[in-house]
Every structure is written in C-alpha cells, then in structure tokens.
Amino acid sequence: MTLEEGLRSRIAAVAAVILPIFALAEINYPHLRPQSQLAIFAGLGLTICFLGGRRKLGEHSPLAAFGDVVLAALAIAVCAWVVVQTEPFFENSWLLGSSLGDRAGAETGLDFLIGAVGLIVVLEATRRTIGWVLPALAGTFLLYAYLGASLPSWLLPHRGYGVERIVAQTFLQSQGVFGIALRVMFTYVFLFVLFGALLEATGATGFIVEAARRLFRKSTGGAAKVAVLSSGLMGSLSGSAVANTATTGTFTIPMMRSSGFPRHVAAGIEAAASSGGALVPPVMGAGAYMMLEIVTPPVTYFEIIRAALLPALVYYFSIFAVVHLTARRFSARGLTRETPEGDDAREVESKSPPVIARYEGIVFLSALGGLVLFLIMGFSVFRSVSLALGTVLLVSSLHSRTRLSSGRLLEAVLKAGRDSVPLVSAAACVGIVIGIVTLTGIGTRLPALILPLAQNHLLLALIAIMVSSIILGMGLPSAVCYLLMATLIGPVLGKLGVVPLAAHLFIFYFGMMSMVTPPVALAAYAASSIAGSSFLKTSWSAFRFALVGFVLPYVFVLRPALLMLAPDGSRAPWGDTIAALVIALLGVLPLAAALTGRLFTELNPVERIALFAVAIFTLLPGGTGMMGRSFAWWNLVAIALYLAALLYDRSRRVSAIAISRP
C-alpha cells in the first residue's frame, strides 16, 4: 500500500467512525436542522465510498486514484454547502441574506452549480456501490422531468421543467436527495446496522447458530434446520439477505454438506432462509420502522409487527417442511451422526463456530428483549434502539469473553460505518426519483395508467406490482426497493381496495423475494460462492425453497385475516385469524410435498401436480365463506383431499415395508 493509499484509507476510516457517533448523537439530541443532518450523513457516507471503497481491476491507475480524491472533495463540498446555507449559525454566509430553504424558487447560479455537481456525485457513488440499475433509473426520471412536454400520451406527458427547477427539486430542497428515503436510513435503518455490528462483535450472533444446533441435534436434516432458524433470526437483525448469507452461510453450508445435502441444495436452503429474515418481527431488518414513515393512514409499530407475525411463521414453517422432506429424500443425517471423512469433514471443522456458552446468549436475549421492552414502555423507535445499544455495551461488559475492548468496539463501529455506504448512496439516489415523482405528479397519475391495464382486476394489478418489485429488487438493496416501490406503486393497491398495511407488506415481501429470483438472485450468488456450487442450480434451488414466499403475499392481500386485519383495516376477529392461519399452514404441506416429490414415499409427476393443485385450492380465499370463519367449500375439499393422499401414501409405505421383509 502506497503512502497516498494509506492516507486515503485512514481518512475513510475516520469518516466511518464519525458517522455512527454523529448519527447517535444527532438522532437522540438534535441540534441541527433536518436537511443539515442528512447532508452531513450523506457527506460522510459518500466520502467513505470514494476513499475507502474497493475498486475494480483496472481502476488502480494514478488517474483513477486522483479521481477518487476529487469526487470525495466534491461530495464534502456540496454537502457542506447545504449545511452552511441552512444553519442559522452561518447566517452571515447566506446568499441573498436568506437560507437555502427560504430562497426556494429564487436560487442563485452558484446554488444550481452546486446542486448539479451533487447529483453527479450521488449517481457515481450509487453506481460504485450497487451497480448501474438504480442510477440508470434515476437518470430516466431526470430525462422524464426535462422532456415531459414532448412525450407521447402513453408515457404520461407533463408541461416539462427546466434544468434549474429539476436540480432545485432533487438536490437543493428537502424533497429529493435529502428527503424521506435518506431520512429513513438515517433515523431507523442505520441504527440497526450499528446494532447488528455490536452484537456480532460480542459473539452474541454466534449464540443463535449454536442454540439452533443444539435444538435440532437429533432431527432428520438437522443441519438444514439449523440454517433455517439461525438465518431467520439473524436476518431479522441485519435486514440484508446477502450479508446474512455470507455470515451464517460460512457455518451452515458446510454443516449441511456434512449431513448429506448436495452443494446446490445446501446453498439454496441458506439463501432462502436468509432472504426471509427481514420478514420476521420484531425487528424486520428495520422494515417495520420504514413503514411507520410511509404507510397512510399512519399505523403503529405494534400494528405492523402484529400483522407481519403470522405470515413470517407460515413462511418459515414452509421452509422447515420442504427441508424435512428434502432431508428424507437425500437420507440426510442428524447432527449427532459422525461426519464424513475428507474435504467436507475438514471444511466443517474449519468453519464451525466456537462453543457458545450462556454469556453470549444473555447478551443476545438482553439486547433483543430490551429493544422490545423499551418500545412497549413507549419510547420512540430511535430512542429504543439507542437504549438497546447501551444494553449491549452494559451486559457484554459483565464477562471477559463478550466484553468489548476499545479495539473490538472500534472495529464494530468501523464495520457499521462501512456497511452503511451502499444504503446511504442508494437512499440518496432514490431521493432523486422521489423528487421527480413529486415534481411531475406521476405518483398520482401512475395508478390511472395501471388500473385500466388491470381492468380493475385486483389479481392482474397484484401480478404487475409483483413483477415490478422483483425486477427492481434484483439490482437494489431490499430496503431501498421497498422505499421506491411504496412511493411509485403503493397508491395503486389503495385504489383497488386493499388494506394499506397489507399493500405495503405485499411490496415488502417481493422486494425480499427478489434475492432468490433467477436470473440475478444475489443471495443465491453469495451462497453458491461459499458452497462451490453452480449458481444456476443454486438459484433455482433457493427459488423452490422460498416458493411459498411468492404465494403468501397474495394470500394475505386476499385474506387479510392472516395479518390479523379485517377488510376495513380494523382488528380481525380471533376466529377469522385462527381460520386463516390454519388454512395457510395446511396449504403449505401439500405444496412442500409437490416441490420435493415426497410424502412418506416418492411421488410420481402426476401425484406432484395433483398436490400442487390441492395446495392452490387450499390457499385460495372465497369471500366470507362457510361457518363465518372464511372457509370456502373448495378449501375444505382440498384439505380433505390432502388428508386422503397422506393416508394413502402412508399405507403404501407400510405395504412396501411388509413386502420387503423376509
């Protein structure tokens, strides 16, 4: 490493340390105006991106290094300009004697120059951190705002706006880069990134894996069930399917391989389980807290986690069911069996986590329990997370193995700062899109275009929104995909009579499922790298294990009792909720059999197709139904058919065993 590279790395490290400290201090004890808070937050994140990010091969030339320094300097300059022109402390430096917000519509030429440079910096930072998809989308929206008057009727034309108005809307004022998307990241999501980093530094996250190992030690396919449980719990804290796969997969994939699972199957299980982690209350990868800012009419935190609870249980129940039947198919061993010799045994030994004692478990349970307790006590979300961080530091200090020394604490803070960079840049870029949506009014006009295409048919609209969410989610962090889709398409479902919270959970689910949807499937890509398996085989395996995640959103939109909601958004009667849960669980079982091709014995293709149809008709809602509990007649018929198939296959197995005996 050259002297110049070392200096750049140290500057990025300093920014990565300052970022969490600034966020914690300013969120809990604000002294700056909201736009200044976000400008400093973005400025620090962009500086880390340009000075501390990994560059691709061919980008290590002196010219590229100089470009990084220039971009970092520009990022600091444009964000500092927003702060100086906003804060009363710098009033003597305000242009025209008024703040940036007060001179909206009368910005100076220097304002526009700063704003234009800021947009370029944000687009480049986003390209570096998450690829071309989001910057290209933002660029398309910028062109839409500029060329609006010349667009054909089917592209929702408008009167068009000049460059100055576009720059002011998307960067200089508070409805663009420094708007709701970045505010959600600053106020909620980043705190959970820091929360997860501290827990990982104490070893508390390793407790999850070890506890799951002990729970499923004697179960068929126990290693895979360990992966499902541990990845679900850790994914709820991190909110990132890819990061969760990379973390827990290093332990669980070798364990599954040692138990007899093929490489691509083990990787697919890990990817599917990690992708669903953000669906699990009470944390939901900070998804619940994003919805607090976006869902209208407003909902409470407990309404969100209550609605998300049963679908999350059904999703993981389905994965457990598929995993169990798959383990029987491959004759996968339990964790108490002797591991095989050779490469797999050495891999398990090298990847196995250390033995976790009660101290790490106490830290983990104290942190998560404290978070929920603080929320119940009425503290705000950000104050609850901040107090939970204090709980982690306090409880972990009680034992030498979990205690965070200054070095370990600094490493955790650095990790949180660096891990936040993709979220900061992506949220800033999404702000550009949201600013254009607000400026042009496309957010209110888009439903008018989609609804006729769906011919006022809810199912067609749901399919269109599912495809849009999956496509966008393939190139975006899941949280960012949700923010974008909730802004663009969320109103469509409201106009079709869907309960608002159900509509937002629908979008949120498919943002998660994009992580295991071929051909991109980023979580499957991470898992296949660990397993050394074919990416294509792994992605299709992950898709199969997570298939119920593609069905569940339709179920709870059409049957909101699964969210504990009535069709009018009020609390559903307990009888309806229990009925919806029973139907969902019973619908998952034939689906698992159809996907794996096994009940008690191997199933032929016709039997698998029949069971798939049984699953669909079990899950399909039918209005108020029978017995006042949302049962339709086809639900009962399908359930009866599944039970008959189960009994028949059981008798077939008994007969086969009797014949095989001498």
Tens digit of each residue's pLDDT (9 = 90 or more) over 370-405: 888 887 887 887 888 899 999 999 999 988 888 888
Measure the CA–CA gap between 638 and 635, rounded to whole angstroms.
Answer: 5
Measure the CA–CA gap between 527 and 347, rounded to whole angstroms.
Answer: 15
Is the pLDDT reported for residue 453 higher than 70?
no
Per-residue tokens: 135: 């910057």
Specify the pLDDT at position 269: 92
Is the pLDDT reported for residue 180 higher than 50?
yes
Is the pLDDT reported for residue 251 higher than 80?
no
Tens digit of each residue's pLDDT (9 = 90 or more) over 44-77: 999 999 998 655 444 556 777 888 999 999 999 9
CA distance between the termini of the chain = 73
Measure the CA–CA gap between 133 and 163, rounded to whole angstroms.
Answer: 23
Q: Which of the four pLDDT bands, split at 50, 70 and 90, describes residue 209? A: confident
Write out the H or E segment, with its range, that includes residue 199. helix 190-202
Specify the pLDDT at position 392: 92
Averaged confidence pLDDT in the chain: 83
Specify the pLDDT at position 475: 59
Query: What mean pLDDT is predicted for residues 227-252?
Result: 78
Specify the pLDDT at position 90: 93
Least Cα distance to 168 among 115, 113, 123, 121 occurs for: 115
Annotate 389-405 with b (16+ C-beta within 10 A) or e (fewer). bebbeebbeeeeebebe
Most confident of 252-266, 311-325, 481-495: 311-325
Q: Are the CB atoms for 235 and 478 separated by under 8 Å? A: no
Is the pLDDT reported for residue 140 higher than 90?
yes
Specify the pLDDT at position 409: 92
Most confident of 283-287, 325-329, 499-503: 499-503
CA atoms within 13 A on the CB side of 580: 29
Specify the pLDDT at position 356: 47
Per-residue tokens: 164: 């100055």
Q: Which of the four pLDDT bands, split at 50, 70 and 90, describes residue 7? A: confident
Tens digit of each residue's pLDDT (9 = 90 or more) over 99-111: 998 988 889 999 9
Does residue 556 or residue 476 have the better pLDDT? 556
Specify the pLDDT at position 335: 56
Is the pLDDT reported for residue 302 higher than 70?
yes
Could you identify the residue written with the tokens 């000075």? 51
Measure the CA–CA gap between 117 and 73, rounded to whole angstroms.
Answer: 11
**In this prediction, what percent of the chain has a pLDDT beyond 90?**
28
Specify the pLDDT at position 536: 85
Residues in the chain: 662
Specify the pLDDT at position 518: 80
CA atoms within 13 A on the CB side of 484: 33
Q: Are the CB atoms for 267 and 538 separated by under 8 Å? A: yes
Query: What mean pLDDT is predicted for residues 500-506?
Result: 90
Number of Cβ within 10 Å of residue 257's Cβ equals 26
Specify the pLDDT at position 350: 47
Specify the pLDDT at position 454: 58
Is the pLDDT reported for residue 341 higher than 90?
no
What is the four-CA torsion angle of 408, 414, 418, 423, rounded to 10 degrees? 90
Is the pLDDT reported for residue 188 higher than 90?
no
What is the four-CA torsion angle of 431, 432, 438, 440, rounded to 10 degrees? -170
Specify the pLDDT at position 626: 42
Number of Cβ within 10 Å of residue 274's Cβ equals 37
Specify the pLDDT at position 157: 87
Distance of CA 139 to the CA centre of its chain: 24
Specify the pLDDT at position 223: 82
Does residue 442 or residue 477 have the better pLDDT? 442
Q: Are the CB atoms for 539 and 258 separated by under 8 Å? A: no
Specify the pLDDT at position 311: 93
Tens digit of each residue's pLDDT (9 = 90 or more) over 505-530: 998 888 888 888 887 677 887 888 88
**In this prediction, what percent of the chain has a pLDDT beyond 70?**
87
Specify the pLDDT at position 44: 95
Specify the pLDDT at position 165: 94
Q: Are the CB atoms for 595 and 544 separated by under 8 Å? A: yes
Measure the CA–CA gap between 428 and 332, rounded to whole angstroms.
Answer: 47
Is the pLDDT reported for residue 369 higher than 80?
yes
Number of Cβ within 10 Å of residue 522's Cβ equals 25
Specify the pLDDT at position 619: 86
Does residue 339 or residue 217 have the better pLDDT? 217
